[in-house]
């Protein structure tokens, strides 16, 4: 299954199956129509007790299906109506249909899809379009007309994990705590709007000095956040599809789900919605032991395979300025020169994730923190000064990256730090006004 389609299927599952009766039903039947294979389904359907069956589009002769997954949407209206009629026929009255269809360039007419569904006795519950990958999926969720949407029995819970580690597996490195670097970025860049993906207790979100938004499906705040800071209790992919102006930021910290496909999507979205001069910081790029880099967590110190994101950006985005920093416990990657118009990662998302997942590792050079820059000292000071100046001067992405590179190489004398970044704050103050004060746990 393509990486982007799998992400979409997982989103369908999280929003419509997780915590609901279908998840506890014994041997719930999942029929995949025109899907080619059920490769990847086990990742989307991790909980519960599901049986998977593959069916041909022309003869989806199974049923009643608790969940039907259809991998295609015909172009012609009469064929769409026929497809929906077939799918409706195989669906249990309390079942749900996930349609994940390649768009192949054309955007489907949602009103037409809803009308065809209605003729076949189905309600279009929700739909979205994905900009990732060559196929740029159209995703629709449908159920029998008038059937009530089952309510999740429990509020969403964090991903459970069992720790099986030795002290060696938990060893950490780094010469300065990563939150010291975040605090410095807030102080010296004075962002108009700070966005944090993955906040947990709020220990890093609390460092924001101005308007800020933190996104986490399972926030467990233990810190009193400043008035200008909002919390959005959602997974980042929901947030980036739904949350309008709150997505726009000029400083972002990516520390959510530690799997490369999620961290890459988070970076792509941060960049796409970035304000001019934006800087992104990615946590956990430097596992200290291979056990910490496992995709399935079994250590307290867990980086997952976010190290692959650093390698992806090195390989596919030479235009960006990338600065791996030797922070504790698991390294930070500072990224500057963000270009909201860049399509490379969006267009090639599926092949990039497939290739990256095949890279063996984490490589020795990453475990040994080779080529990593000290987060204190002249080199980093020069980069910070260059970023400050370039942002204040409204430099374009390529210019920001070039100036940061030159600064790191010692080619540019740093300008003195401005006494206050009030100008930049005022310039973007309308963003703060749009975000409003107070928290939103919606
Ligand atoms: C390492 S913690 C964040 C720590 C915090 N940034 C700090 O430095 O104090 C990772 C957080 O990411 C959250 N998370 C997991 N999946 C996510 C997703 N899809 N979108 C956003 N956050 C996610 C988890 O709930 C968890 O609270």
Q: Name beta bridge partners: 282.
A: 254, 333
E strand or H helix at 116: helix 110-119
| 207 or 21, greater pLDDT | 207
- Residue-level pLDDT at 108: 84
- pTM: predicted TM-score of the whole model, two decimal places: 0.89
Q: What's the pLDDT band for 42 if we cut at 50, 70, 90?
A: confident
The mean pLDDT of 298-323, rounded to a whole number, is 97
Give 382's contacts (C-beta < 8 A, 6+ positions apart).
407, 408, 410, 412, 414
65 Cα: distance to centroid of ligand 1 (angstroms):
35
Residues in Cβ contact with 209 at an 8 Å cutoff, skipping those fewer than 6 apart: 186, 187, 190, 226
Secondary structure class of 419 (helix, strand, coil) = coil
Which tokens in the block code for residue 188? 């010296």
**CB of 207 shorter than 6 A to ligand 1:** no
334 has pLDDT over 60: yes
Tokens matching residue 177: 């705590």
Cα distance between residue 323 and residue 386, in whole Å? 13
Rounded to a whole number of angstroms, the CA Rg of the chain reads 23
> What pLDDT is stored for residue 30 in this prediction?
93
b/e map 261-276, b = 16+ CB within 10 Å: bbbbbbbbbbbbbbbb
pLDDT of 417: 54
Question: Structural domains in the chain?
Answer: 3-144 (3.40.50.150), 171-430 (3.40.50.150)
> From the CB of 199, is ligand 1 less than 6 Å away?
yes
For residue 122, give the H/E element and its range.
Answer: strand 122-129
Q: How far is the CA of 139 from the centre of ligand 1 (A)?
A: 26
For 138, the token pair is 């159209």
Q: Quick one: what percent of the chain has pLDDT higher than 90?
A: 71
Atom nearest to 158 CA in ligand 1: 25
CA distances in angstroms from 148 to 19, 123, 267, 422, listed in the order given: 16, 11, 36, 52
β-pairing, 212-215 vs 65-70, is unpaired
Residue 181: what are its φ and ψ, rounded to 5°?
Answer: -70, -40
**Does the CA dihedral 48-298-310-215 come out positive or negative?**
positive
What H or E segment, with its residue span, contains residue 5? Answer: helix 3-16
Per residue in 337-364, pLDDT (tens digit) is 999 999 999 999 999 999 999 999 899 9
Mean pLDDT of the chain: 89
CA distance 402 to 336: 10
Q: What is the pLDDT of residue 430?
A: 40
Residue 157 Cβ contacting ligand 1 at under 6 Å: no
Count of CB atoms situated within 10 Å of the CB of 244 = 9
329 lines ligand 1 (CB under 6 A): no
Which residue owns the Cα nearest ligand 1 atom 8? 204
pLDDT digits (tens, 9 = 90+) for 47-60: 878 999 888 776 66
Maximum pairwise Cα distance, the chain: 72
Q: Is the pLDDT of residue 366 over 60?
A: yes
Confidence of residue 426 (pLDDT cuts 50, 70, 90): very low
Cα 200 to averaged position of ligand 1 atoms, centre (Å): 5
The DSSP element (H or E) to which 406 belongs, if any, is helix 397-408
């Amino acid at each position: 299954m393509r990486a982007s389609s799998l992400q979409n299927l997982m989103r369908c599952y999280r929003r419509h199956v997780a915590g609901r009766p279908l998840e506890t039903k014994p041997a719930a039947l999942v029929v995949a129509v025109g899907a080619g294979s059920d490769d990847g389904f086990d990742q989307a359907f991790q909980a519960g007790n599901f049986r998977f069956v593959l069916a041909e589009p022309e003869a989806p002769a199974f049923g009643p299906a608790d969940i039907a997954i259809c991998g295609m949407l015909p172009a012609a209206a009469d064929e769409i109506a026929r497809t929906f009629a077939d799918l409706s026929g195989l669906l249990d009255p309390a079942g749900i249909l996930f349609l994940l269809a390649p768009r192949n360039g054309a955007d489907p007419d949602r009103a037409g899809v809803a009308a065809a569904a209605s003729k076949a006795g189905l309600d279009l519950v929700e739909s979205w379009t994905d900009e990732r990958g060559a196929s740029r999926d159209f995703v629709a969720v449908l159920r029998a007309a008038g059937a009530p949407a089952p309510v999740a029995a429990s509020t969403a819970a964090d991903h459970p994990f069992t720790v099986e580690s030795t002290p060696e597996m938990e060893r950490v490195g780094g010469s300065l705590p990563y939150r010291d670097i975040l605090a410095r970025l807030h102080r010296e860049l004075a962002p108009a709007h700070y966005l944090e993906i993955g906040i947990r207790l709020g220990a890093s979100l609390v460092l924001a000095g101005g308007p800020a938004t933190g996104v986490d499906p399972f926030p467990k705040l233990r810190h009193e956040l400043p008035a200008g800071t909002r919390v959005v209790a959602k997974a980042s992919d929901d947030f980036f599809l739904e949350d309008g102006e709150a997505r726009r930021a000029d400083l972002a910290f990516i520390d959510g789900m530690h799997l490369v496909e999620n961290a890459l999507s988070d970076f792509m979205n941060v960049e796409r919605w970035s304000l001019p001069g934006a800087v992104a910081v990615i946590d956990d790029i430097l596992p200290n032991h291979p056990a910490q880099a496992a995709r399935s967590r079994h250590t307290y110190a867990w980086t997952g395979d976010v190290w692959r994101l650093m390698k992806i950006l090195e390989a596919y985005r030479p235009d960006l300025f990338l600065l791996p920093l030797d922070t504790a416990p698991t390294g930070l990657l500072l990224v500057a020169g963000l270009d909201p118009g860049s399509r490379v990662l969006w267009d090639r998302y599926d092949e990039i994730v497939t290739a990256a997942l095949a890279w063996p590792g984490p490589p020795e050079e990453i475990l040994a923190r080779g080529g990593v820059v000290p987060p204190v000292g002249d080199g980093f000071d020069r980069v910070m000064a260059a970023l400050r100046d370039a942002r204040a001067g409204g430099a374009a992405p390529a210019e920001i990256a070039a100036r940061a590179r030159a600064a790191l190489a010692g080619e540019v004398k740093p300008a003195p730090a401005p006494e206050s970044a009030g100008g930049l704050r005022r310039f973007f103050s309308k963003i703060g006004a749009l975000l409003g004060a107070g928290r939103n746990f919606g």
